Amino acid sequence: MFIYFDTDSAPAPEIADRMQQAAVLCAREEDLDPVRLSLSVTFVDAEEIRRLNREYRRVDEVTDVLSFPQFDDISNLPDSEEINLGDVVICQDVAELQALEYGHSLQRELIYLFTHSIFHLLGYDHLQEEEKQKMRAKEEAVLAKMDLSRDDTGGDILG
């Protein structure tokens, strides 16, 4: 899967590599060919994600991640060489706070938020408990394959 990073906020190469790995695993969870898929990722501060959340979701609050899917239903993706699934916006400020709060590494938090967002791009949601359980199980399966457990305390930072 190709990830287009905003050049002003691209992560450190180690984080970008781990995000690439997570994206491929998410696609494979859905039996999709990761070679044909792409998405964009932008890291923003709390003020910007609040603005985006207010503008697009009508929620005037800071949040950790926003997903902007390109498709309502991925069961009929176009037959083209590259299929852009949509856009992911991650708030680095919130990710850092949540990593501290949950007692795990920033890498683990960023990869979790990214994985969570990809599953939104792939049509999953967590409004109903049954949907939430399915989505969480897929997220945890990807993180387990990446050896990023909830108690991962290794340190790393964004570049």
pLDDT of amino acid 158: 36
The answer to whether the beta carbons of residues 43 and 3 sit under 8 Å apart is no
CATH code for the structural domain at 2-145: 3.40.390.30
* pLDDT tens digits for range 33-63: 999 999 999 999 999 999 999 999 999 999 9
Residue 147, Ramachandran bin (φ over 0: left; ψ between -120 and 50: alpha; else beta)? left
Q: Give the chain's mean pLDDT.
A: 90
pLDDT of amino acid 35: 94
Closest alpha carbon to 114 in 80, 77, 146: 146
Over 80: is that where the pLDDT of 17 sits?
A: yes
Sequence ranges of the domains in the chain: 2-145
pLDDT of amino acid 156: 42
Pairing of strands 2-5, 37-44: parallel
Whose tokens are 């199980």? That residue is 137
